[in-house]
A and B are shown apart, each in its own frame.
Chain A
Amino acid sequence: MSSSRGFAKSIINTLRELVSYKSGVLGLIMLLLLVVFSIYTIVTIPMDRAIAMWRGEGDMWIENPRLAPPEWIQFFVGKNLPKTMKFDSREISLNVAKSSAPVVGTNMRKVHIEFTFNYEYDDFPSELNMFFSSNFSKTTGAPIITITWVKPSGDRINLGDYYMTDNKYSLYFVIDPITRALVSYVRQNYGVEPSDLITNIQFLFGKFTKEALQKGNLEVEKGTYKVIIDATVFGNADLDCRMIVYGDVYGIAGTDHLRRPLEIALMWGAPVALAFGLTASLVTTFVEMIIATLSGYFGGLLDNLIQRVTEVYMVLPFLPFLILISVFYGLNIWTLLVVVIILSIFGPGIKSTRALVMQIKEYPYIEAAKAYGASDLRIIFLYIIPKILPPIVPGLISAVPGYVFLEAALALLGLGDPSLPTWGKVINNAYEQGALYKGYYYWVLEPSAFLIFTGLSFALLGFALDRIVNPRLREM
């Protein structure tokens, strides 16, 4: 059975047997899911776009909440968690009203913007920001903006006057002037000193009661809110405002500390992991096989040399070397792949394959082939390699998770490709930001789940194949 036809037949037999092992089938299904998922990802988000999105130039993600868990968390928490709400004065709708009128006798105009919305969520928003844009020229003067906050209870709070310092001006509602405006309103209208614990958002969206204000445990006030923006512009300038009320949750996977939607990294981690793991494993195994065959078949000086090199490799500290190269020269994912392969090819797998080759070399049909004048190359490729391939395949598949986790490990250490969104990178970010101590569990759990899924799929498949190919391991 050393011909190629016999080889093909044995593959089919193997597949047939594989189906009989439940673990093998499970592994295969999981793997297929991963492949489909990866293909879908590459098609929907091409790599360049993914990298650009992950770099998040400028304000790309400014409208996402920061460190927000995924939306489906609310089913476990039982509350109706706030989602991000966006209001833009350029898009007139039921919630948005805008009018502008000149002030007679001056070169000023008054721009009036109103945002009205119903707030029915069970929890406070995480943030509130306003982004103003105006095409004023510095010579005529910057617009002056007055903001009034109207709560369902009827409280009408003047949040102060603000000057646009540039054509694009961001107003973050955590700043002190707003705090002062809120605190003084409470003092004047409720006669109490509000607790230091109350955040601006809680002031804006909380139910004002004397006790709650003093203790600092405001409840969410549901109802209709109105935000009034009165701006005075000079010349023919116009003014627009975009208000973002940031939710507590976002999307299917949440966001990280840079407001990036984690789903990008989670999706892109798949093709990266698959490509890296499979390529590393395939190339390493293939090269190892060739080396072992050459070593076992030709023997002599070549064999000796290869054995010595293998011994040196055994004492080479793999990871420190990888770290050394990475720190000194920087690595992107492709150079990492090459370096990992180079550092792995004279690995321990060579010993067992070589022993097998040496055994096969002595078989009578090899002698017969030599007798009829077959060249060494022919013997190696037609007779020896088909025989040593079956035991190697399970090892190949079982080795993939190792490489996938290696890439994740390097990312965790802060090495690895800095621009590519991978699962390891996400865990690295999470770790550096202290996710485990601050309770951002989803940030760690989501990429971990993907890593585990990938690792297990290859492992299940590889182990099932191992039991098939290695008859001694079969249930006796």
Chain B
Amino acid sequence: MIPWGFLKYIVKRAVVLYLTVVIAIYATILIANMGGKVDEIVIGDIRMSIGQAISQNPQYRNLPGEERAKLIEQLVQQEIHRRGLDTPFFVRSLIYLRDALTLDLGKALTMRSDTGSMLVRNIILERLPNTVLLFTTVTVINFFLHLFVGLYLSRHYGSLLDKATVALSPTSVIPGWFYGIFLILIFYSWLHVLPPGGLVDVPPPENPVDYALSVLKHMILPMLSWIISGLFLGIYGNRTFFLIFSTEDYVEAAKAKGLPPRLIETRYILRPTLPPIITSFALSLIGSWGGAIITETVFNWPGLGLVTYNAISSFDTPVIVGITVIYAYLLMITVLILDVIYGWLDPRIKVQYR
């Protein structure tokens, strides 16, 4: 039994989201090129590669300087025309848009990827898994932590733990990276127990198991900073949620039906609450991508965020544009996955397309 309704829904969402990404990236291009900066970058890039090609080409070795410059200029103009870069602003922006959408993000000014490539795409994508590793892990941990402790607290309403959680929830207003600074202070500067940043020990262990353990050791502080940050408010939010949902009529009806308490909790409280809980998971995941930039800077974690920081410090503008594009795609994929999960859980959606 193929759930056609559900598939229709996914396709619709994917299309809408992709259009959204197109608009977002186009906005990026427009903003980036308002001062002609992208033009500068691209043309500068062309000039450099042609210049290099000419100087390395044995045919032109004996060409006097002036002649060579003229030749380069000629070839550059040819290339500009070929690529359509001498068209009006609007058309140019569409060309850049096409490039960006296909992740043809050009070359960096000074930065290089670990494998030596200067392609912006490689520089960024190479670091992407590290960011995903760290932040998805932490968001998932937080999700389950908040869920189960919140559920527990909703049952023990009014207890000391409950009151403490409520009182401490304002501490979540402080972002994870800020806690991170303090954690480094305590666990590295003072106690010398954990590393202050980076992905692995230097030099990295040969043995894959040791390597993995080393990475885990380096993940502890960044993860801890985001766990602490979201802890009390997350638990408080979930607990309030469950409290409200457990006073729903259908929960009372389930009790009257004589259903066992465990079953009521899973099927009548948890299950109906899942759609909004998943939504908040989505929001926190998206929030974590954003927080990644600063967290990785604080912890020297070699991911997207650190690339961003390095790009800022060295004014490597193609990389910055590239990062914005990648981020837009990242967000789109995240939202799509979560739409799929939401659609699966909320019967109203499945039914719409019956």
Contacts and interface: CB of A to CB of B under 8 A. Distances in A.
Interface in A395-410: 398, 401-402, 405, 408-409
Interface string B300-318: 0000000011011101010
Given A312-B20, A319-B290, A448-B178, A325 B283 contact: no
Contact of B293 (A23, A323, A451): A323
A328 interface: yes
B297 A412 contact: yes
B221 to A, nearest CB: 12
A436 B300 CA distance: 13
B293 A413 contact: yes
B332 A436 contact: no
Interface stretch (B21-29, B68-76, B260-268): B21-29
A401 B174 contact: yes
Determine the main DSSP class of B at the interface with A.
helix
Interface string A296-330: 00000000000000011011111111011101110
Contacts of A223: none
Interface stretch (B45-53, B108-116, B164-172, B345-353): B164-172
A266 interface: no
Interface residues of A, number: 51
Contact of B173 (A415, A439, A445, A458): A458
B231 to A, nearest CB: 14
Contact of A314 (B37, B311, B335): B335
Nearest to A318: B290
Contact of B31 (A319, A321, A409): A321
Interface in B314-333: 315, 317, 320-321, 323-324, 327-328, 330-332
Given A402-B173, A444-B181, A472-B244, A315 B320 contact: no
A339 to B, nearest CB: 10
Interface stretch (B86-94, B125-133, B139-147, B183-191): B183-191
A23 B167 contact: yes
A320 B293 contact: yes
Interface string A455-476: 1101110110000000011011
Contacts of B157: 476
Contacts of A427: 181
B240 interface: yes
A328 B294 contact: no
Interface string A206-229: 000000000000000000000000
Interface in A434-459: 436-437, 439, 441, 444-445, 448, 451-452, 455-456, 458-459
Contact of B189 (A327, A412, A441, A462): A441
A414 interface: yes
Contacts, number: 141
B177 interface: yes
A427 B175 CA distance: 15
Given A321-B31, A414-B313, A415-B312, A327 B320 contact: yes
B171 A463 contact: no
Contacts of B330: 317
Contacts of A324: 28, 31-32, 320-321, 324
A160 interface: no
19 contacts: A319-B293, A320-B293, A321-B324, A324-B32, A402-B173, A405-B174, A405-B175, A409-B177, A412-B298, A413-B308, A414-B309, A414-B312, A436-B185, A437-B189, A456-B170, A456-B173, A459-B169, A459-B170, A460-B170
Interface of A: 23, 27, 311-312, 314-321, 323-325, 327-329, 348, 398, 401-402, 405, 408-409, 412-415, 427, 431, 436-437, 439, 441, 444-445, 448, 451-452, 455-456, 458-460, 462-463, 472-473, 475-476
Given A324-B320, A475-B158, 9 more contacts: A318-B290, A323-B320, A409-B177, A413-B312, A414-B312, A444-B185, A445-B185, A463-B169, A473-B240
